Structure 1
Amino acid sequence: MAANWMRRSLVAAACASAALLAACGSSTVESAVSPDRVIAFGDGISDVGQKGSAYTVNDGTVLNWTAQFATYYGKTVKPVSAGGLSYAQGNARIKATPDAAGNASTPTITAQIDSFLSGKSFTKNDFVTISGGTSDLIAGMAAVRAGTLSAADYVAASRQAGVDLAAQVRRLVAAGATHVVVAGVYDLSKSPWGIAIGQQSLLADASARFNEGLLVSIVDLGASVQYVDLAYYVNLYVNSPSGYGFENANTAVCTSVDAGNGIGTGTGQVNSSLCTTSTLLAGANQDKYVFADGVYLTPSAQRQFGNYTHDKVRVRW
């Protein structure tokens, strides 16, 4: 009984946090803020091609939500590796190493922020985006399936990872970032990967606990932080695909199999960072699919989330 009461209380607090972060400072007046720069930190959801390609169908279009968001302000988002200000990198975890694919050299989100702050600073008109958690949940599930982590410990670690991402959000604000856009994780039980491994219940719980830990820990940052609900939006894609132009919400459109553990979900799996228009299911229209691979979204799904992000931000700042 006590545990159930505590969980209900935490969920209520998380919902209240989301409402506060979405509403504080909002208005119906078009935003007057014109950002000087759009700076991005995060994982594969935000990676615009740190190693030459993004985690989606690499078709030469605007490939993810951060880039789509930036277009509304006439800005571009390029990876640091190409001289830009997007530090986000596929498979990056929040503070743990190695990454989801077992690579110890991938900068964590914490290290990405370290890198920025070591030589740069924020201006009052910078927009900063940060996403994280997907790689932590993938790495944790690998440990569960290997028998080295219990289901209960996995859920607890997922919530802690949300708290850890919140600590990095707080760090950005403390360093002078006044417009921080935060995306957590979507419900990975909805992903083709989650369905294929038969762990929907555990992934749903872990995803929810991650977002709960994140939201409860940033509830007091409403003046500087806008939360954008990736879980809500992917749920819309999956539950009502036709409303968003999709016909398939549970199959990966890419066929780019990676002999290695490319996205952390095992060897011999589709890795969308290897995907182009030449490596799609026969006859498939990629714009009709939600998922590029077992975890990551197609360009259309990414762009629509970027549009939603702009809609949330423009009435705020």
Structure 2
Amino acid sequence: MAALALGASAVLLSACGSSSTESQLQPARLLVFGDAFSDVGQTGARYTVNDGTTNHWLLQLASDYGRTLTPSASGGTGYARVGARIAGKPGVTGDATTLTVTEQVDAFVAGGGTFASDDLVILSGGMSDALFEAKAFLAGTQTADTAVANARAAGTALANLAKRLVDAGAKQVVVVGAINLGITPWGQATGQYDTLNAISRNVNDAFLIDSVNLGLGSNVLYVDAPYYFNIAAEDPGNFSMNNSKGVACTSVDAGVGIGIGAGEVNSALCTTSTIASGVSYNSYMFADKLYVTPNLQRLFGTYAYDRIRNRW
């Protein structure tokens, strides 16, 4: 994984604080469509340690712009939810009623929603798609090649969705890449790093290639979450962490939880009262086997903010 260190200095600078770049964009609102990585609390909690702080990257991003962000379940503009795939059904938790990222956009438009010139639109699907395909591969119900092909199809669907938003009037669309499942505690435990990395990477690669082919140009910005989190996993000390392999929370969910099986830790249930003994949770990268702790959430939010300000 030494190759991941190439260009790391730019990431590490952003981990220390935001840039001084002057930005023309002052968004009136953030519109968010995606999966659990960008779920700001559809069920009342977020996929991290729920400690009462600005504990989610999108809340950090909104705060940096002087805005607030609440889930659509509470009347807000955060439509992302756990399990959502870009266009496929069922969701990664097995729930066929979970709105896909595409259906989240459908619901917004059907409710009379339109895109203003000063909206900042966030698309962050892909991690659930990668997980869905990886689980099928690990279960032996599809080959690695099929999983990768399906992941590429999901990335193409994401590019088409971004084009749809631009065609509908969205001027600033931020697409956040799918995190590499191979670095997660869940992925590490499978011993299948190369395949899980390939599945995740192909969601992102297909999006990037198709976004060029579709001519999305200046209206769409790709924020490279897999790159950022790969660097954090390889060198956690530069992100004020000392553990990128363990899980900080003990909040086991008897149900489907985060989609990796029953009886697994679900960070949406995690509070300061459900932290593993002797663990300082912000020194850990992961709250559960997929999603990260508040410290890294905030740092990534600042990284995304800097990337956006440098574009618009």
Task: State the TM-score, normalized to the length of structure 1.
Answer: 0.89
Query: Are positions 1:57 and 2:49 aligned together?
Result: yes
Task: Determine if contact 1:95/1:109 at 8 Å carries over to the other structure.
Answer: yes
Other-structure match for 2:95: 103
Counterparts of 1:163 and 1:64, CA distance in 2: 27
CA shift, 1:241, in A, is: 0.6
Task: Determine if contact 1:63/1:303 at 8 Å carries over to the other structure.
Answer: yes
Moved over 2 A (4+): none
CA shift, 1:159, in A, is: 1.2
Counterparts of 2:59 and 2:79, CA distance in 1: 13
Runs of 5+ consecutive residues of structure 2 not aligned to the other structure: 1-19
Task: Determine if contact 1:48/1:63 at 8 Å carries over to the other structure.
Answer: no
Task: Determine if contact 2:38/2:80 at 8 Å carries over to the other structure.
Answer: yes
CA shift, 1:147, in A, is: 2.1
Runs of 5+ consecutive residues of structure 1 not aligned to the other structure: 1-27
Other-structure match for 2:218: 223
Letter paired with 1:152: D
1:195 counterpart (182, 188, 193): 188
3-state SS of the aligned residue for 1:218? Answer: helix
Other-structure match for 2:16: none
RMSD: 1.4
Post-superposition Cα deviations, 1:125-171, rounded to whole Å, max 9, x if no partner, equal 01111101111111112222222211110011111111111111111
CA shift, 1:264, in A, is: 1.3
Q: Residues 89-238 of structure 1: matches in 2 within 5 Å?
A: 89-118=81-110, 119-219=112-212, 220-238=215-233
Other-structure match for 2:278: 283
Other-structure match for 1:269: 264
3-state SS of the aligned residue for 2:36? Answer: coil
Query: Are positions 1:76 and 2:68 aligned together?
Result: yes
Counterparts of 2:209 and 2:34, CA distance in 1: 20
- Judged with a 3 Å threshold, the aligned counterparts in structure 2 of structure 1 residues 141 and 29 are, in CA distance, closer, same or farther, namely closer
Post-superposition Cα deviations, 1:59-83, rounded to whole Å, max 9, x if no partner, equal 1112222221111111011001111
Post-superposition Cα deviations, 1:275-313, rounded to whole Å, max 9, x if no partner, equal 111111112111101111111111111111110011111
Post-superposition Cα deviations, 1:244-299, rounded to whole Å, max 9, x if no partner, equal 10110111111111112211111211111111111111121111011111111111
Other-structure match for 2:34: 42
3-state SS of the aligned residue for 2:175? Answer: strand
Other-structure match for 1:5: none
Task: Determine if contact 2:83/2:258 at 8 Å carries over to the other structure.
Answer: yes
CA shift, 1:104, in A, is: 1.3
Task: Determine if contact 2:131/2:181 at 8 Å carries over to the other structure.
Answer: no
Counterparts of 1:300 and 1:177, CA distance in 2: 31
Task: Determine if contact 2:133/2:199 at 8 Å carries over to the other structure.
Answer: no
